[in-house]
Structure 1
Amino acid sequence: MQGQKPADFSEIQKGDMQAFERVFKEHYDGLCRFANSYLLDVDEAEEVVQGTFIGFWEKRENLQIETSLKAYLYRSVRNSCLNEIKRQKVRQVHAQAVLQEEVQVAEASDHDALKMELEDRIHHAIQKLPEQCRLIFKMSRFEELKYQEIADQLGLSIKTVENQIGKALKVLREQLKDYLPMIIVLMKGFLDL
């Protein structure tokens, strides 16, 4: 500033508000530009600089400044900017973790809903099978009996059991063809576990 000598730090330490205001006016714009070079946000840069000046005024009586007042202010602003960048990174990591968790919960509930819908469709498709065909299919798939065991229990030939299973699978494939993408999604989810 022309005509005025730079404010002396000792004046500020004694509580001279005019000396503080002179330092503020002299360095504020430069410090804001400096802070903005770190934060890339004009509003945040101004907040950091204002916070630095507030802290400087509040701690003035106990401060020991070994360098120039200008160097002290720039170092303080730089440190505050670095702290703000760290806080932003922590917030960003936390936000990403929360988002990922929400996505996983949504995927799990979508997966459960798809699974329930598919189970319901399979149940309805099985119910539409002719009675003997349905019985043989259930014994094979749900009771895990071998064809010979089914043939023995029902008094049928093994060839009849094979034909009935083939017929059931053909009907189910036809009934569930629209659900093939869903089956693939569910199988992928199952394999990912």
Structure 2
Amino acid sequence: MIPIDEKHIIKKLKAGDNEAYKYIYDYHYVALCKLSYYLLKDRVQAESIVNDVIFHLWEVRDKLELVPPLRNYLIIAVRNKCLNYLALKQQETEIRFSTIEQAGIQLQNIVSDNEHPLGNLLKEELESKIHESINKLPPACKQVFTMSRFREMSYEEISRELGISVNTVKYHIKSALVILKKELGTFLCIIFAFYPTLLL
């Protein structure tokens, strides 16, 4: 059954009322994360996509023709974004394998120490380079990125622990990814082989 106040919520949303934004999180976030996780089997990425969808809704709220129930719109948006992510990930995987093969390196020889004695040394070198690059991030950016990628905390958990908004968490994550991808550019193909979700 459609909540009796969703038409009012939509009006408040279009007016830029933060209470409407909070309503979407309170009543739809968990269900959307379950849907996203079902499609992706990746908790961190699932939550990231749901946050992106809700934030995008907020950004373009005055341009959309929304009608109750809001969950219908949100489910379609999350589903489409998940499918786009999976398609892009498949393309990136194909490109990474192609790039590695063109360089004369077989991926299985890199990730398996038993078959490639230099694999462990390469991984140690990459870890050193990654941590060196992360340490160059601005302090707040570094803290949020570390909590997300190494402690596997959700945006909501980081927000609560640091006392900042979810949007601020997202800003720091996106800033970190831009900086790290630029800093680690020449290592990206190999980094994706060892740490496929680190820079996604």
TM-score by length of 1: 0.49
More helix by share: 1
Greater Cα radius of gyration, structure 1 or 2 = 1
